[in-house]
């Protein structure tokens, strides 16, 4: 695996691979890699011949009171994991390389509608910062495809909408959420959890499954089941930000006509914010 830290060096490697007829994949990450990230690399490898992973903690998507300074950074371990996973290139730029004119002079990308509500309501400006850096990375690499995890469901929806609205020809591939044995979705922020918090954390996935079972049974979203899940999460020691059911395609509030749902949750325990989701598809199969 080759490691580069400038856009020029990155583009030279990608141009050479493309000249050899290879299909290019990009896997954007913020580092502190775990098995969920490595699953993204494996997914990219299944779809492409040349895999680029980016490692960049993007300051533009962190709010004033969020964990940019303390966000876990493990570059040496990350490189080893990427090598083992068969990644071809690691792009690890500095902030100055990504934002040469500074953060305050940077053109921003805003994706209305799908970025509003849910995490967008709790983290103002987050999705503008995320969409901006993803678009920059896509333009730097110009891959045939890019892989993102389904765990960050709203992020995935924002990226898909941006790519569609801007007439980009890149395929956005979603990789399934990777979970611990007790159901907790893998996340770089799980390392913040204390022992008691880690023991309580699987309640989020348990409630997602209960809500999904209720939807499958009743063919609709039952308000009583939503309320019950709210209580279970709060009783486990979480400060619940949201537990909602939305249309899985556009994240609009559900209607009686909907048959493809996504259940989304965000909650804080101690100093750690966790998110998760689960989809339910009641559409008739072909």
Quick check: is 37 catalytic? yes
The residue from 34, 37, 42, 230 that is catalytic is 37
How many C-alpha atoms does 119 have within 13 Å on its Cβ side? 29
Secondary structure of the chain in HEC code, one letter for each residue: CEEECCHHHHHHHHHHHHHCCCCEEEEEECCCCCHHHHHHHHHHHHHCCEEEEEECCCHHHCCCCCCCCCCCCCHHHHHHHHHHHCCCEEECCCHHHHCCCCHHHCCCCCCCCCCCCCHHHHCCCHHHHHHHHHHHHHHHHCCCEEEEECCCHHHHHHHHHHHHHCCCCCEEEEECCCECCCCCECCHHHHHCCHHHHHHCCHHHHHHHHHHHHHHHHCCCCHHHHHHHHHHHHHCCCEEEEEEEEECCCCCECCCCCCEEEEEEEEEECCEEEEEEEEEECCCCC
CA 196, 31, 158, 161 dihedral sign is: negative
Task: Give 184's contacts (C-beta < 8 A, 6+ positions apart).
Answer: 190, 198, 201, 202, 204, 205, 274
Residues tagged active-site = 37
């Amino acid at each position: 695996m080759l490691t580069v830290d400038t856009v020029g060096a990155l583009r030279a490697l990608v141009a050479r691979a493309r000249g050899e007829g290879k299909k290019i994949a990009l896997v954007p990450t913020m580092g502190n890699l775990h098995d969920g990230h490595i699953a993204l690399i494996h997914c990219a490898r299944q779809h492409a011949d040349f895999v680029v992973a980016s490692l960049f903690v993007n300051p533009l998507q962190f709010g004033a009171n969020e964990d940019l300074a303390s966000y876990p950074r493990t570059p040496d371990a990350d490189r080893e994991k990427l090598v083992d996973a068969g990644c071809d290139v690691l792009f690890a730029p500095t902030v100055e390389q990504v934002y040469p004119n500074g953060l305050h002079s940077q053109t921003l990308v805003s994706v209305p509608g799908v970025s509003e509500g849910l995490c967008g309501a709790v983290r103002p400006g987050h999705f503008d910062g995320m969409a901006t850096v993803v678009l920059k990375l896509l333009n730097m690499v110009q891959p045939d495809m890019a892989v993102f995890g389904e765990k960050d469901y709203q992020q995935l929806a924002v990226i898909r909408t941006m790519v569609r609205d801007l007439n980009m020809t890149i395929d956005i591939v979603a990789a399934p959420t990777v979970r611990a044995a007790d159901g907790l979705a893998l996340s770089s922020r799980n390392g913040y959890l204390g022992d008691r918090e880690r023991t309580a954390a699987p309640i989020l996935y348990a409630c997602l499954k209960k809500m999904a079972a209720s939807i499958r049974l009743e063919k609709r979203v039952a308000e009583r089941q939503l309320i019950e899940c709210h209580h279970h999460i709060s009783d486990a020691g979480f400060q619940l930000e949201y537990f909602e059911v939305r249309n899985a395609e556009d994240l609009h509030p559900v209607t009686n006509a909907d048959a493809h749902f996504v259940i989304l949750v965000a909650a804080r325990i101690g100093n750690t914010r966790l998110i998760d989701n689960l989809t339910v598809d009641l559409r008739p199969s072909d």
